[in-house]
């Protein structure tokens, strides 16, 4: 029985497999996904940040909180979609 490395033990505890090397095509797809979703997140921020600032300036705390929560929710949604698409790209789908 061979002695396992710390890396192998950690992978075993986490139930994971060693990561595969990505192809150039997969790397390009991942970079493109990062660019696309960064732009979508920026678009959401550009859309909602002025509204948040206006509500804050008007002293509308409730409106400010709702808009900030909307922005957070939209950003989280986009990041989840990004993660799902990146995982699919890593799997070659």
> Domain residues for 43?
24-90
Please report whether residue 19 resides in a domain. no
* pLDDT mean across residues, the chain: 89
Please give the Cα distance from 33 to 83 (Å, whole number).
9
Cβ atoms of 90 and 28 within 8 Å: the answer is no
Please give the Cα distance from 73 to 15 (Å, whole number).
31
Q: What is the mean pLDDT of residues 63-68?
A: 97
Q: Supply the pLDDT for residue 37.
A: 97
For the segment 5-42, what is each residue's pLDDT rounded down to a tens digit? 787 777 777 766 656 788 899 999 999 999 999 999 99
Please report whether residue 57 resides in a domain. yes
pTM: 0.74
Please report whether residue 51 resides in a domain. yes
Number of structural domains (the chain) is 1
Q: Supply the pLDDT for residue 7.
A: 73
Q: Supply the pLDDT for residue 29.
A: 94
């Amino acid at each position: 029985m061979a002695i396992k490395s710390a890396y192998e033990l950690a992978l075993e505890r986490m139930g994971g497999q060693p990561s595969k090397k990505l192809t150039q095509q997969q790397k390009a797809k991942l970079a493109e996904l990062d660019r696309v979703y960064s732009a979508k997140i920026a678009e959401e921020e550009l859309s909602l940040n002025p509204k948040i600032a206006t509500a804050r300036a008007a002293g509308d705390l409730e409106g400010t909180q709702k808009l900030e929560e909307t922005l957070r929710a939209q950003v989280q949604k986009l990041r989840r979609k990004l993660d799902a698409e990146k995982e699919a790209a890593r799997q070659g789908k």
